[in-house]
Amino acid sequence: MRLTIQRNQIHHFKEPILDAQGNPTGEEKDVLQFDIRSPDYPNLPTYGIRVDFPITIEKVKAEILALVNTVRTQMQRDEVVRHNIEDMGYLDFDSDQL
C-alpha cells in the first residue's frame, strides 16, 4: 500500500501528560502529528498519526506499520460485509417496497 504524508498536515506541539485517571499532571510532552493517505485507495479516509518527539525513523515506521495493519484488517472486514449485503440484495432497491 503506497502512502503519502501530507506535508501541510505535519504539526509539532506540546501535549499534557495525563495520570492513570486521565487527569493532567502539569507536565507536557512534545508530540509530532501528521496525516497520511493512500493514493491507491482514494475512498479511504486520511489518517492521523502521533509520535512522541523527538522522532526517529524507527518510531515513525512502527506507527505507520501499526496503522497499515489496522487499515488492512478493516478493509477485509468491510469487504466481507459488502459481499453479504450484496448477496442479500440490499444494494439496489425501491424505497416504496420497504
Q: Each residue of 25-50: pLDDT tens digit? A: 999 999 999 999 999 988 889 999 99
Number of domains in the chain: 1
- With contact defined as beta carbons under 8 Å apart, do 54 and 30 qualify? yes
pTM across the whole model: 0.70
Domain span at residue 20 reads: 4-89
Task: Determine the pLDDT at residue 97.
Answer: 67
Q: Pick from 11, 9, 12, 14: which is nearest to 26 by CA?
A: 14
Per the domain annotation, does 76 fall within a domain? Answer: yes
Predicted pLDDT of residue 85:
87
Residue 34 lies in a domain: yes
Q: Is residue 33 part of a domain?
A: yes
- Judge whether 20 lies within some domain: yes
Residues in the chain, pLDDT under 50 = none
Residue 94 lies in a domain: no
The per-residue pLDDT for 25 is 94
Q: Has residue 98 been placed in a domain?
A: no
The whole-number pLDDT of residue 43 equals 87
- Let me know: does 67 contact 47? Beta carbons within 8 Å: yes
